[in-house]
Amino acid sequence: MDQPVEGFSKLSKEEKIDWIARRYTANPEATIKLLQQYWNSDKQLQQLHDEFIENTLTNFYLPLGVAPNFLINGKLYAIPMAIEESSVVAAASKAAKFWLDRGGFRAEVLGTEKIGQVHFLYFGDPRQLSEFIEGLQPLLRADAQGLTANMEKRGGGISSIELRDKTSDIEGYYQLHCTFETLDAMGANFINSCLEQFGATLVREAGKYPDFAKLDPPVEILMSILSNYVPNCLVRAEVSCPVADLGAESGISGADFARKMVQAVAVANSEPYRAVTHNKGIMNGVDAVVLATGNDFRAVEACVHAYASRSGQYRSLSRAEVSNGTFRFWMDLPLALGTVGGLTGLHPLVRMAHEILQKPNAPELMQLVAVAGLAQNFAALRSLVTVGIQRGHMKMHLLNILNQLSATGQEKEILIDHFKTHTVTHNAVVKALEAHRALK
């Protein structure tokens, strides 16, 4: 049985690779060669990547594409997207082109409030705790002044500190529920630092408070941490046009297309099994832009899906309606994003992505990301209610299948031309490639 390794993080990158390759892979030399192939030849750039995380072995590449022709609030954008799924960039581009001549996308930020909490235990009189926290408010802010001064100069800082009684859920459990404005920063480090200071002030001052003299301890801090659920950090993206302007959609009228779109969204809003896939399609667009711009897509995913469940049932994030002859398709999305801090100033491709987006501030980036999600959802529903999802998806997947089958460049050209008029399935591609090779 293999033994645990001691001091792995202290090994050089080459030693880590050698250890992994020889203990966990069938062909160590091939593994070492593969990992080294993905190193950047620019040693300074490679060191930058190595230092993003611990125990780096190599770089893991994702395609970085761009979806052009997004008209958003009257301004034209090309949106960078980092994603491996074959049809996402194509679908976003197609949706952007569709709405380009129909007024484009509109987006607005509805709120930018971010949240953090100090979770603590207290087993005394709830009224005494409430009076104590009320009187402590000025000192909580004063003790955090060293942390908040620069943020306040820019117009941000602590918005509110509120005591919440959670004893109906857990005995003795209370929160300081705190809201923040972090401007162009995602703000995780700022919020967590403030919360830890609030906790320290709470413990210190509770020890001096006469009404808590019989409690040992007066309060016990469990943890101080931001929340990735930000239902009031919200952005709306939408499109609309007269139903008559939708035109014929793959053999159905504009009116039928609009009606079927509304019904498709209604199904996703009522049926969780459909809603999960529906919203996953939205996140195809959202995550791709969030990743390309150096933001935390895991936090965004967790928040968005919690928001989709806020009614007690998991529902569609998007909405659709036809009113007075106008088709409207829209979505409200909670997004906590940053354009400063983290990887935004470190990763060269992230910096480039922000430049392509014309260096947006955080609220502007929220709008761009939400539009990408709405476009992706529109493209998917458009296919579903007309020709079906597989025709376009499998055509985009064709190259992946051909690469799996080790097709040559010439074979790819011939097979791509062949499947312009044939249905793409894995089996059909295999047979077509075998038939072509048999003719040689």
Question: How confident is the model at residue 392, as a pLDDT?
Answer: 57
Query: Tell me, what's the pLDDT at 74?
Result: 98
By percentage, how much of the chain surpasses pLDDT 90?
A: 83
Radius of gyration of the chain (CA): 27
Give the integer Cα–Cα distance in Å for 32 and 23: 12
pLDDT at residue 174, as a whole number = 98
Model confidence at 388: pLDDT above 70? no
* Whole-number Å distance between alpha carbons of 174 and 305: 25
Whether residue 389 is predicted with pLDDT greater than 60 in this model: the reply is no
The token pair at 98 is 């569709």
Instruction: Give the mean model confidence (pLDDT) for residues 264-279.
Output: 98
Statement: the pTM of the whole predicted model exceeds 0.85: yes
pLDDT, position 420: 79
**Least confident interval from 95-104, 133-142, 271-280, 388-397:** 388-397
pLDDT in the model for residue 424: 82
Quickly name the fold that domain 114-227 has.
Answer: Alpha-Beta Plaits (3.30.70)
Q: What is the mean pLDDT of residues 39-67?
A: 95
pLDDT higher than 90, residue 249: no
Give the contacts of 104 (CB within 8 A, at least 6 positions apart). 70, 71, 72, 73, 74, 239
Pick 81-110+235-387's CATH classification: 3.90.770.10, 3.20.20.70, 3.30.365.10, 3.40.50.620.
3.90.770.10
For the chain, what's the residue count? 440
Asked whether residue 62 carries a pLDDT value surpassing 80, the answer given is yes
Mapped onto helix, strand or coil, the DSSP state of residue 324 is: coil
Cα three-residue angle 196-201-204, rounded to 5 degrees: 125
CA pair distance 376, 395, nearest whole angstrom: 17
pLDDT higher than 50, residue 66: yes
- Token pair listed for 86: 């074959």
pLDDT tens-place string over residues 203-220: 999 999 999 999 999 999
pLDDT digits over 82-121, tens only?
999 888 999 999 999 999 999 999 999 999 999 999 999 9
pLDDT tier at 224, thresholds 50, 70, 90: very high
Residues 188-202 have a mean pLDDT of: 97
> What is the model's pLDDT at position 413?
86
At residue 46, the pLDDT reads: 93
Task: Say if residues 209 and 109 touch (Cβ distance below 8 Å).
Answer: no
Q: Out of 60-74, 97-111, 161-175, 236-250, which region has the weakest mean confidence (pLDDT)?
A: 236-250
* pLDDT tens profile 311-369: 999 999 999 999 999 999 999 999 999 999 888 888 999 999 999 999 999 999 999 99
Q: Report whether 433 contacts 415 (CB < 8 A).
A: yes
Average pLDDT over residues 55-79: 97
Arithmetic mean of pLDDT over the chain: 94
Q: What is the pLDDT of residues 128-180, one digit of tens each?
A: 999 999 999 999 999 999 999 999 999 999 999 999 999 999 999 999 999 99
More confident site: 398 or 372: 372
pLDDT for 395: 61
pLDDT band for position 3 (cuts 50, 70, 90)? confident
Residues noted as catalytic? 85, 280, 296, 393
